[in-house]
Structure 1
Amino acid sequence: MNDFVIVTDSCCDMPRSYMDEKQIPFVSLTCNFLGNEYKDDFGVSLSYNSFYEGMKSGEIPKTSQPNADAFYAVFEKIVKEGKSILYVGVSSGLSGTYNSANIAKNMILDAYPNANVELVDTLTASLGQGLMLIKAIEMQNNGANLYEIKSFIEDNRLRLNTYITVDDLNHLKRGGRISTTAAILGTVLHIKPILTLNDEGRVIAIHKAKGRKSAISKLAEFVCKKIEKPEEEIVCICHGDIEKDALKLKEAILSEVKVRDVLINPIGPVVGTYGGPGALAVFFLGKHRQNHLIDVNLK
């Protein structure tokens, strides 16, 4: 039962060094940018700096999910080795990627009836998905079987808290997250919304901060209020080409709670298309993600 491979997709935004070290197979989403189509492959084909500098210059990227054939190619190679598969995927509430994986699973089972392909929807993205990937790999290394890991993710995914702030509301507007009116008013009033993911894995607004400093303080406050057994947990922080703010957030968190580790990494091009330059997000396991008052609606 332990002869299985953990697979993910590029929305997990993990450091490429981690993906290479752990030899984790992944399926790339794509980003159309500056007239070219790039694989979202953790900064290799399109560097984080080039992507965000282009956005700052006014370029508008477009993203596309992988089709079922892309998943099939990755799955088939593993199945031919006689191994089972556990796919740890981006939220189905944010992308159709999970659906493509499910179609590929059925294609595999048609071609290889004895194959074992399990999918788990993390109901999150970026380093939230990456955090679940880390947990899955650690559990596998400690002897857990495929179904124990899948059950852990399903049982704990609503404890995976996500808090996000963005610098430019227009990227959210283009992604359909907020209205044009809200984007204009927010920009004029220097409002920095705090966003989270609901139980369906969709983006919702929960707070309006006045200015960047206030937004960073609010993110840290949410971590300190909602994390449980912090000394056992990894806090993941990702950013849209603004590492200095990620470090400020790390410092604010560590001044209040002591955690096992803090992972900081840039947001990849696909997720970064919707957050834009200056986006900042924090992910951690703690209290149920909806255990707070929703106090704002940016729609």
Structure 2
Amino acid sequence: MKLGAEALKIDCEKVSGRIERFIIKNVKNLSKKGVIVPVSGGLDSSVVAGLCVRAVGKDKVFGLMLPEKEGNPDAKKYALLLCRKLGICHEEIDISNVLKAFGNYDFVLSKIPSRLLKKVAAGSFLSLYNPLKDGLKGKGNAFVRKGMSYLYLKNRVRFVFACKYAEENNLVLAGSAHKSEDMVGLFVKFGVDDLADIMPLKNLFRSQVLQIGKHIGIPQEILSRKPNPDIIPGVEDKYWSFLRLAPEKVDLVLLGLEKGMKKEQIARDVGVPKKKVEEVEELTKISFHMRNPNLAP
């Protein structure tokens, strides 16, 4: 097997059809009247919303925007673009007051006056501490852990609001997690991208989600956006910031590991150092608890 773009190619019509049937089945089985999708204006939630519209119709799909005052200002623009393109109703709930009550904006990063300076400060921090790898290994002092807890709280509060909205309106809550993030722990545990009634993209690599997005007509402006987690100022591409790899290379490394290929061959095919393959493999192991949150004896 040769790792390359062809190795990740899927039959989009077949795969999207299977996912749409999955959505229809679960809306019916859960006795819900439709689907709510927390939309961020990014690739993943946009594709989920698009598939839901194809499955149950635009009148039964609702977009929920959950901004906060330190978030990426482009997120709302692209989320609105998506909702208008799909013709779905949407609602916006600003979570800033809740985060303020938790003390989120009292942390040092929030005291920096401009978004540009926040970006510089966050970049300096990330050069010393990797929230993904170091966090999973339990590294970092109390100050760092407190800071990360504030950042992660943003997506946990988003989940609470999304869950409340779904229950109040008798809707299925659709999450946007996919296989690439899942396998390396590149998500917030117990956050809005981790918990949901259904996860339509959970078995697809990000490269395949992109293929589906093109197939179902998601706007190119959204498809070409970098994978921005929208919780840490300065992080515009979480794959590069945390893994120092482009997302398509992460997908190929994960595929090679999944197929049991030798690390040397994976490194050669993907064009990365063997050490990078080993780092990704290590992440798949130490992030096990994130994919299995309710450990039991």
Q: TM-score, normalised by structure 2?
A: 0.30
Between Structure 1 and Structure 2, the one with more strand by share is: 1
Between Structure 1 and Structure 2, the one with more helix by share is: 2
